[in-house]
Amino acid sequence: MNKCNTIRILFCMIIFSTLQSCKSLIGLPTSTEKSTIGEISTYTKELKNLPLPKEKVVVGVYKFRDQTGQYKAAEVGSNWSTAVPQGTTTILIKALEDSRWFIPIERENIANLLNERQIIRSTRQEYLKEIDKNNPSLPPLLYAGVLLEGGVISYDSNVVTGGLGARYFGIGASTQYRQDRITIYLRAVSTLNGEILKTVYVSKSILSTSVNGSFFRYIDSEKLLEAEVGLTQNEPIHLAVTDAIEKAVKNLIVEGIKSNIWGKSMDDTDKYKQLIEDYNVEVEKNNAKIIGSQFDEISRPKFSVFANAEIAQIKGDYINPVSRFGGKFGTKFFLNKNFNIEGNVNLFTLENTEIITRSFVVPEVNLEYFMMPNFKFSPYIYAGMGGLFSKNKSFYKAQVGGGLEYMIQKNIALRLSSQYDLGFTDNWEGFVNGKRQDQAIRFGFGINYYIGK
């Protein structure tokens, strides 16, 4: 074996070991996993921590199933798997048990129960009548005072989709997301007169995200180095359905307490009062929603201040440009829910290795447009004019940019942005060459704080 082949084998072994290590670092499974106890949803603990009733309510659930009839989306061919799990009745019964407010009785497979009881009676009559003539008969079945009806009535795919990516000199990264939505209705029906006592409605978003990175570079004219890494995460449909059903059960209990449906189960204590107060606050907040996570315009006040950390690089006439860090501070005033006027001051440093380094104070004025202002997550674009001022010379420029903003709290948003500066002259670095004016590209990450209501 010659030396070249040996080097190639060693290189392949190093790459293979690196990939195995990376797989563990980013959280991908490296071996099979044993069975575990099922995960709980965000509302499981809330159900189990509800204040106890004075008397449990006997409820029956005949059918609580998928009413959408929808199949999973397939990019190629047909997919005959349903989009929603078909065991939602079982999930509801488990939620009723966890709440400790109800005594659920078997009604989904009542035929099996009745058949088994008939077998017991027949066996006793045929084989045990001579042994024990005083053998007691089977006790009567429990009957329900309340029936729970409803089901999964909607599964909406791709309610919100989007992504972000960038590539520079063969190094790139991208991220994508998709949001689906599931909706359920749950109602309580009195078996005494058939009256619908209360109906609740719950929706749950289902998020899918992916992150990918790649490296593509020619080492020389005949050798190419390429690497990729990626991670995709999909929220399990089963857990999303469980979360929505448990939330619906909790809401039904609270609505029943408010309307005195449960009778003696309701007790006028501080725990019940706090439960109702928290529920009313949630209802009031939810009334501001329009669709999914969409809120009306009061979620973004008219005035804000922001700060960004940026990395910038000049695209000029000298070789070997260097990326330099800088900062940006500014304010925004919203003309309406879509448009705002932005003013900012930032520090921009251009540098070419061992040639020139020059720093500028850069004021800018932009007109910014929010594409989805009623959403917590909204893309935006902007354009405007600015100047570059230093102790030696001053220049003027135009800029265009865009990015994404996400409201993490009522008045706080995170922002990711990119900007392209278009110069009106070709001597930002003091050197004129060719017809193209000097330009710059920037990427930034920052925080936007909204002031007011």
- The helix or strand, by DSSP H or E, that contains position 359, with its residue range, turns out to be strand 356-370
Distance CA 395, CA 399 (A): 13
SS3 content of the chain, % helix, strand, coil (to 5): 25, 45, 35
pTM of the predicted model, to two decimals? 0.64
**pLDDT string in tens for the chain (453-residue length):** 555 555 555 655 665 565 555 555 555 566 677 777 877 788 888 888 888 888 888 998 988 888 887 777 766 666 677 778 888 888 899 998 888 888 898 888 888 888 988 888 888 777 765 655 666 677 888 888 899 998 888 888 888 777 777 776 677 777 888 888 889 999 999 988 888 989 999 888 888 888 888 877 777 777 777 778 778 888 888 888 888 999 999 999 988 888 888 875 555 577 788 888 888 888 887 776 655 555 544 567 889 999 999 999 888 878 888 888 889 999 999 998 889 999 999 998 888 888 888 888 999 999 999 888 877 788 899 999 999 998 878 889 999 999 989 888 888 999 999 999 998 888 887 777 767 788 899 999 999 999 877
Q: Where are the domains of the chain?
A: 297-451
> Residue 36 in 3-state DSSP?
coil
Q: How many residues does the chain have?
A: 453
Distance CA 401, CA 368 (A): 9
297-451 fold:
Porin (2.40.160)
